Structure 1
Amino acid sequence: GIRIGSYSNCTPISEGVTSEVFRSGTTALKVIVHSTPEPHNPLREVKILQTLHPPCIPLLDSFRDHEQRLVLAFPYMPLTLADVLDRSSSTSSSALDLDLVRSLFRDILQALREIHGQGIVHRDIKPSAILLASPSGPVYLSDFGTAWHPTFSAASEPRDSKILDIGTGPYRAPEVLFGDKSYGPPVDMWALGAVLAECIRSPPAPLFESRPAHEDGNQLGLILSIFKTLGTPTPETWPEAKGFKVTPFELWTVFPQRSWEEILPGVDEGFREVVGRLVRYDGSRATAEEVSSASPEYTYI
């Protein structure tokens, strides 16, 4: 392995848009190798991580290596939820164990309650951003590289003109696809609902279809998949969209509204109800606080 700062025997484990990740014993080192434009901002990521607590991933250290590249040090986690889903869909045709799903989501909801309580929007909730210390947890929320912060992001991205090129494939919320630059924490709740739906399907599979970001028409394909799955929105089912730059109401193929029993047949009813409160067009999407508080319809998680 190579040496990074004071960490020796570092071996590469993954790479992302801006970074390469190495492991040194019990530590994971995220080395920022490419500078990319907003919303990627590793210095802001450091500042945000310093304000957070588990189940958000703890930042152990940040420093510059001998090439002056920024390095972020985290506890090493052997698994992501994406790994667990891949394993489950390839080795069995059943959904994930529901007790595991419940404890995973309890932890992620706690992380989202904390960040949303500070006005932070994660903007890239997806299975690979959810880290596990073991196959049964505990769970940590990671990947804050594109998060929006009400103070630290204010100069580059004012509250009402946020960047729209956020999120990953099938977890992107519809308001972002239709040009609503004043989006907020509900984009994370939509993504969480899409992840939950994936976990409870047998075998696990994304709720919506999305082609890779570099392919032409990927955004259009995702919009059509959402409309086909949920039904095309109307001014009644999505009143907030009347003010969007791009209208979701005209020019689109009209797909009928579908019930969640039709969309997710044969899955656990309690979880299906929670998905239905998260994956919806209108502004009544449940908050992290609502899902994790003890109101009767949510005691499920």
Structure 2
Amino acid sequence: MSEVTNATQAPFYFILTGIPGFVASHIWISIPFCCLYTISLMGNTTILAVIRKEPALHQPMYLFLSMLALTDLGLTLTTLPTVMQLLWFNIRKISFEACFAQFFFLHGFSFMESSVLLAMSFDRYVAICRPLHYASILTTEVIGRIGLAIICRCVLAVLPALFLLKRLPFCRSHLLSHSYCLHQDMIRLVRADIRVNSWYRFALVLLIIVMDPLLIVFSYILILKSILGTASQTEQFWALNNYLSHILAVLVLYVSMIGVSMTHRFAKHASPLVHVIMANVYLLAPPLMNPIIYSVKTKQIRNGIFHLLFQRKVY
């Protein structure tokens, strides 16, 4: 089967690549991938179950954590089918429509994760800097509106990128260098003027990858200023330790997101294995690490998991 499409029409499918140089070992490589996906699915499902079961966790902070867990589940399930079918059954072909659908959900959930973390930083700012107004500001209705705004923001951000890419002719090889459909990977296959796509991508980078972290950092500067003004060192330590989980979640997302962007931008001639590793870290690290971070650093979540696992029904 030829991997080069007719120069006059777009391909009806793309060919996915596994782990470069390790094609013969895909079945063995599938074992750690399967474990990581399983841990991610179980971890985020457990977080959702704990928050739903424990009435004490029906608070703004944990409702935002539920949004984060749902986003992580979506991000995991978006890449799971193509990755595992490639590693297990060597199924490399993905249809044109399915690839664009995966492109939409993959980048949509990725941007949604950034938006949810921004909303969580706002929640922490209100809780620390305006504690007396916390309950009146972050009502259930307001949280619902924030969730709807996050969804609308991400859909409106990704849809133009999808249509701008879909209108272009894919006149080169339709061989993708990953196990899923990334925008950075798909745009390389286009033989046309992509200046509009590049400018729109640059705008998205400024809007989400740059603006969201800056707003989060700004909120934490205000939080830190408020914490350092508390009466005792014990209270300062408790407050900082209490919100360390959110700081770690922010670092996991943005370090991996910036890392994969920098790799595609400045390391184009690096080994394909480097690009594959960075792309997998970018997509697997947040869904895998977030449940672990919040389970370890948040006492209420730890207690909820304990009750969920070991509580017995009394008849």
Would you call these one fold, judging by a TM-score over 0.5? no
When normalised by structure 2's length, the TM-score is 0.30
When normalised by structure 1's length, the TM-score is 0.31
Higher relative contact order (CA 8 A, sep 6+): 2
Q: Radius of gyration: which is bigger?
A: 2
Name whichever structure is richer in helix by fraction.
2
